[in-house]
Amino acid sequence: MRLIMLGAPGAGKGTHALLLSKEYNIPQISTGDILRSHIKNETDLGKKAKKYMDKGLLVPDELVVEIVKKRIQEEDCKEGFILDGFPRTIPQAEALDKALEELAIALDKVVNIDVPDEVIIKRMAGRRVCSNCGASYHIENKKPLKENICDECGSELKQREDDKEETVRKRLQVYEEQTKPLIEYYEKRGILLTIEGDGSVEEIGNKIKNTLEVSK
């Protein structure tokens, strides 16, 4: 199965991509992770990407698509893959389509997790992360035993800058402008599955799996 996960920041794309990866035994591919891997291993593609990142610039679409194209040709992607967080724009989607066509690979489905903005803001603004071990908590859904103290290592819990309400609203605005048009793009192709994403991880996970099974 070859999937793309869509959804606003905080909608749960990464969480459900990981669960689907285990369910179908196919890799979850995050462009951020593979970019970092190329840079760490000092590959030709990694060196090219690093030049842009060192200047504080976005890595060009052509280079990101080239890195994704290389990744999906690896052995563990023979039975499928899940693209998590890519594409983010229509030009990226078009470039990805071209690359997949060259490889004679067809996407099966695009899973769009739809969560109301106010739910996302509440969800993300409530997140707290351990400053030492990185363990994650939530002030309503996953409270630590002792307020603001990590259960695992006893260090202080902090709110990440990109989880603050003002930042989340800005990220949602960028999503609205740049990424949301992908919903219509894939809907026209007839491969979009929209899942209502306001609920527990288990509930949403079951919805996604059941919808994918029915749509096969």
Q: Flag whether pLDDT at 58 surpasses 80.
A: no
User: Which among 40, 3, 41, 52 is positioned nearest to 24, based on CA atoms?
Assistant: 3
pLDDT value, residue 68: 93
Q: In sequence order, what DSSP letters do the residues of 28-96 get, joined into one string?
A: EEEHHHHHHHHHHTT-HHHHHHHHHHHTTPPPPHHHHHHHHHHHTTSGGGTT-EEEES---SHHHHHHH
Q: Which DSSP category does 128 fall into?
A: E
Q: Is 72's pLDDT higher than 80?
A: yes
Decide if 88 is catalytic: yes
CB 120 within 8 A of CB 168: yes
Question: Could you give the angle at the alpha carbon of 165 between the alpha carbons of 160 and 169, nearest 5°?
Answer: 115
Which band of pLDDT confidence, cut at 50, 70 and 90, is reported for residue 53?
confident
Sign of the alpha-carbon torsion through 141, 146, 149, 152: negative
| Percentage above 70 pLDDT, the chain | 100
Q: What is the mean pLDDT of the chain?
A: 92
Catalytic residue among 2, 71, 123, 127: 127
Q: Of residues 78, 160, 169, 170, which has the active-site annotation?
A: 160
Predicted TM-score (pTM) of this structure: 0.84
What tokens were used for 140?
């309503």
Determine the average pLDDT of the residues in 61-71: 91
Task: Name which CATH class applies to 2-116+177-215.
Answer: alpha beta
Residue 2 annotated among the catalytic residues of the structure: no
- Which residue of the set 50, 69, 88, 209 is catalytic? 88
- Domain locations along the chain: 2-116+177-215
Exposed e or buried b for every residue in 137-165, given b needs 16+ CB within 10 A? bebeeeebeeeeebeeeeeebeeeeebee
Mean pLDDT along residues 174-186: 92
Q: What is the mean pLDDT of residues 76-91?
A: 93
- pLDDT for residue 85 is more than 90: no
Annotated active-site residue 13? The verdict is yes
- Distance CA(72)–CA(78), nearest Å, equals 8
State the catalytic residue, choosing from 13, 71, 109, 128. Answer: 13
Distance of alpha carbon 161 from its chain centroid, rounded? 19
3-state percent helix, strand, coil for the chain, nearest multiple of 5: 50, 15, 30
Measured CA to CA, the distance from residue 117 to residue 124 in angstroms comes to 10
Band (pLDDT 50/70/90 cuts) for residue 78 is very high
If pLDDT is split at 50, 70 and 90, which confidence band does 52 have? Answer: confident
Q: What is the band of 23 on the pLDDT scale with cuts at 50, 70, 90?
A: very high
Element (H, E) at 110: strand 109-114
